Copies of this chain bind each other. A is one copy, B any other.
Amino acid sequence: MSTSPIHATFLFSAPDQAGLVARLAGFFYELGLNIVDASNHTDPFVDGGTPRFFMRIAVDLSRLSEPKALAKLGGSTTRKSLETAFDGLASSLGGTWSVGYSDVKPRIALLVTKDPACLYDLILRQRAGELACEIPLVISNHPHLESVAEGFRIPFFTLPVTPATKQDQEREVLSLLRRHHVDLVVLARYMQVLSEGFLDAAPPVINIHHGFLPAFQGAKPYHQAHARGVKLIGATAHYATADLDQGPIIEQDVARVTHGMGPEEMVRVGRDVERVVLARAVRAHLERRVIVEGRRTIVL
């Protein structure tokens, strides 16, 4: 039994047009559902040239079964009928949308290799209630971190990979993701490039890159940063795409470094940035705040 009311959070986008806020807010008002949080953004810079409207609306479902909603939804107040009604509105506005419910926690798979920092960090945040999700499994190409996952009683799967077995290994990973009903994959320092085929078939994938993209793409970014003599190093969380390190950026941050730090010291300083940036990005995704628009993200 949950004591806090259940929320539905809608993400909506459409070509900009008059009255969008009023139409969307009015939809829920007529159902008698209270909007507990709403934010919107109209972006004039979308590639095609037409401004595009983005909105996030969180509504309290407590009154979904009351007469007002019942009348409006044609006698059925299931989530399905709510979604059908919203889809009718969205279609009439030329929009796309998605919805999540606060009592259905997204299921995250963590993919790792040998570095425990991000793995521990995400698990501890989930346990502390900072990340509203379940972590049904951890997958690695290496047995190194098994004891960490086991310590938290999370199933751990070791799927080694070589260039020759990459296709097979990815198929096995996909199979594990499906079997565990995974909604989001987080690459928590998984030292493998995923194929386009994998990314097409998988749920959304968030990666943490230990550099301030678009600078320092590719391998050993801290060594690159040291060689270039930068005074700040960064980390970037982004959705993985087939073009490595080119996916839409969700979150970035930096830390100050000095001439006195070698690449190893930069790794240490950078690790703190990586963890926080990855956690913020995963949290924004879980709270349904992120919409991808071309190469950019709108974070509502």
Q: Which residues of A contact B (CB under 8 A)?
A: 18-23, 25-26, 28-29, 32, 34-45, 116-117, 120, 124, 128, 130, 151, 212-216, 226-232, 234, 248-254, 258-260, 262-263, 268, 271-272, 276, 279, 295-299
Chain B residue contacts of A276, Cβ below 8 A: 272
Q: Is the CB of A249 within 8 A of B262?
A: no
Chain B residue contacts of A230, Cβ below 8 A: 213-214, 249, 252
Q: Is the CB of A212 within 8 A of B228?
A: no
* Cβ of A245 to closest chain B Cβ, rounded Å: 11
Q: Is the CB of B214 within 8 A of A228?
A: yes
* Cβ of A72 to closest chain B Cβ, rounded Å: 13
Tell me which of B19, B37, B117, B259 contacts A296 (CB under 8 A).
B259
Q: Please give the count of copies of this chain that the complex contains.
A: 4
* Cβ of A40 to closest chain B Cβ, rounded Å: 6
* Cβ of A212 to closest chain B Cβ, rounded Å: 6
User: In the complex, given contacts A117-B124, A120-B124, A215-B215, what are 10 additional A-B residue pairs having Cβ atoms less than 8 angstroms apart?
Assistant: A21-B25, A21-B38, A22-B28, A37-B42, A45-B262, A120-B120, A130-B268, A214-B216, A228-B249, A230-B249
Q: Is the CB of B18 within 8 A of A22?
A: no
Tell me which of B22, B234, B262 contacts A232 (CB under 8 A).
B234
* Cβ of A2 to closest chain B Cβ, rounded Å: 17
Chain A interface, >50% SS class: mixed
- A25–B251 CA distance with the chains assembled, in angstroms: 31
Could you list 16 examples of A-B contacts with CB < 8 Å?
A: A18-B34, A19-B25, A19-B29, A22-B25, A41-B260, A117-B124, A151-B151, A212-B232, A213-B228, A214-B230, A215-B215, A227-B295, A227-B296, A229-B249, A231-B249, A231-B252
